[in-house]
Structure 1
């Protein structure tokens, strides 16, 4: 048979066509197996409910370390897992100003196989300064000497100048330690909602902690007491109590229970690197031994009620947070 250019072209065309078909088959097979792999991974991820555990504990950590930062029940959570088993989770974060929650940002988590590369951060809608909440210890943990707070007279001046039809958020420290029950009674005469209390857990006494201040004032990273959380049925059912006088004892028990669960069930890397909960064991041991002692609060309510706190000699180091239009229900 005579070899011609036409025959050569036909053979090359058939070869290229066959090769193209094979490549397409390989690509389709790869896509199918990748789809099947991701389907199995996603189904397993949903069945194990790992996202629910991470969401629950991230909210617990936020309750303890970020004053007046919380989620609203019923808000949409986003959770997915990547081919390399990185769990990406996010949910909106709110703060209470008056009686209504105000959206302030989104909590975003990336839980990776290597814990040290995991991230858990809150992206705020507007700039948030670290000085938004400052709480000052009433006495030095090592010497017992009385301490004072840095005072900002502008806090009360601003409240005096705004219209009465305004609600605001205010944080303050007290000149003495109190139990949570005593703090609730202390604030009972005021028409305010108590949102969060800085809790002393042995800082600079039982363990070293970062601090700032001077010879007369001392402030440590906030760690606080608020409404307790509980999870049941493999984290599928979650609930939270309010910071209310009638729930105080239950809130204490829930806080200690979640601290104990984290210490017994989760690694140090998970607690510290992912959740940002440092010295959790020391804090837990201190609370079990010494009990709950708070030294301030974050409150919200009408500006005329907040101004009444100015006359209370026990209050020091007040700091003004967000303000908004009237949304209060007078009782």
Structure 2
């Protein structure tokens, strides 16, 4: 029988030459690598499918259980209650859930300037499974190093009693307002020389064609509630405060219901009631920085009622200028200015 030079028959067995054996080994290695590669790809596909099912199930649970709605409700109340006249776009859209169950959401922040809803920044909020709600606001500043957020202080007389002192110096922002032409609307904030009930303030403001977008609430700061971050002058204290905001209601599942753009004489009592409900719900169901201070604030408001010491308003420039005639109003701050958009 003919045999190639690569084979030699010995005792009925076949032996391969070294070159042929090496080629067979290489083919075997590549075959194993291909099988391993196919197995790895199959495993990756399987894990991807399982992870997708896991994430879909997680999102489904957080949506159907109402956890996402409760999260966005808490974010909206916290941000608006801690900001003077600031509003959130409550069409939050998708709440992102991480594999470790951290909730994250982003939405627009705006302020009311006349009848314009002017976007002023973006809010980012997150909450881990057992952690606190945290949020931050990235402001869209119009001017470099030009922070024009409301800075409202209350008179020392709210703490110690007695008569309130008259402000020292002029009102530079009111002077600036005087140089603005008639065809503009603006946002303005100011402090009171004494505490008022929200109803009393609305009575004073009823003579002017303006919208009230928020009121600074005195809830025992520097007296019954110790705050760590504040600024003070000879006759005024500037602490963090609660804000009485335009009426926003929520459904049982936590989603936002009706919402007003401004406070009015007709719904001021409902807004006060909603403030207490929101504060009660927050301090009972939500873990966030400052919750212990807010529990003290809630206790103070239940015992003493709601007093306000400042406000943010918006309307035509000439109408805002008239506020200078009210002796109780002082420390005016001029916010954003827009072209005329006022139908009242």
TM-score, scaled to structure 2: 0.86
**Structure 1 pair 142–255 and aligned structure 2 pair: CA distance change class (3 A):** closer
Q: CA RMSD for the aligned pairs?
A: 2.1
Task: Note the 1:61-72 alignment, pairs <5 A.
Answer: 61-72=78-89
- CA deviations 1:132-151 (Å, max 9, x no partner) are 32222223444324345565
Are 1:252 and 2:265 matched, yes or no?
no
Name the count of aligned residue pairs.
Answer: 322
Task: Note the 1:73-152 alignment, pairs <5 A.
Answer: 75=91, 77-115=93-131, 119-126=134-141, 132-145=149-162, 146-149=164-167
Runs of 4+ in structure 1 off by over 4 angstroms are: 127-131, 147-152
**CA displacement at 1:316 relative to structure 2:** 0.9
**Structure 1 pair 55–61 and aligned structure 2 pair: CA distance change class (3 A):** same
**CA displacement at 1:88 relative to structure 2:** 1.3
Are 1:225 and 2:241 matched, yes or no?
no
Unaligned segments of structure 1, at least 5 residues: none
d(CA) in 1 for partners of 2:236, 2:123: 32
- Structure of larger gyration radius: 2
CA contact (8 A) 1:152 1:318 kept: no
**CA displacement at 1:230 relative to structure 2:** 2.6
Are 1:324 and 2:324 matched, yes or no?
no
**Structure 1 pair 167–39 and aligned structure 2 pair: CA distance change class (3 A):** same
**CA displacement at 1:192 relative to structure 2:** 0.7
- CA deviations 1:26-78 (Å, max 9, x no partner) are 222221211221121122122123221111111111221111111245x4533
- CA deviations 1:300-321 (Å, max 9, x no partner) are 1111111111122111111111
TM-score, scaled to structure 1: 0.90
Structure 2 SS opposite 1:174: strand
**Structure 1 pair 192–63 and aligned structure 2 pair: CA distance change class (3 A):** same
**CA displacement at 1:131 relative to structure 2:** 6.1
CA contact (8 A) 1:197 1:225 kept: yes
Q: Which residue of 2 aligns with 1:169?
A: 187
Unaligned segments of structure 2, at least 5 residues: 1-13
